[in-house]
Amino acid sequence: MLTSTLIIVIILPFVISDDSINTYDYTVILEGHAFEGWSYELKNIHKLNCLLECSKKSDCLSVNYNQKDRVCQINKQILETSSVENNIIQAPEFCYIERSKYTILQTY
């Protein structure tokens, strides 16, 4: 018996910027899902700080964020470079957020 799974992708672009020279664009890919195989976890952290932590790491490509428990899981992969069926799990409390672009701004 063949079964299929429908995954709905929600794309909501937003920009994280601190007052330093770096600006990072992130896109919310999947609400209620998480990427398995995360590298490390930060606890008791706000979503914006989670994304800023990711932006500081050149190998951070996405995060799983649990707003209720304030948990940030740093991922070294994105959906595009892995098998969706094997690496994305349903996790109602999480939001999978992908780092989509890196820009260096000149400040004077």
d(CA 16, CA 93): 22
pLDDT digits (tens, 9 = 90+) for 1-22: 555 554 555 544 545 444 443 4
d(CA 101, CA 23): 9
pLDDT digits (tens, 9 = 90+) for 48-92: 899 999 988 888 999 999 999 999 999 998 887 775 556 888 999
d(CA 100, CA 63): 12
d(CA 72, CA 74): 6
pTM for the complete prediction?
0.69
Q: How far apart are the first and last CA of the chain?
A: 63
- The conformation of residue 73, written as its DSSP 8-state character, comes to E
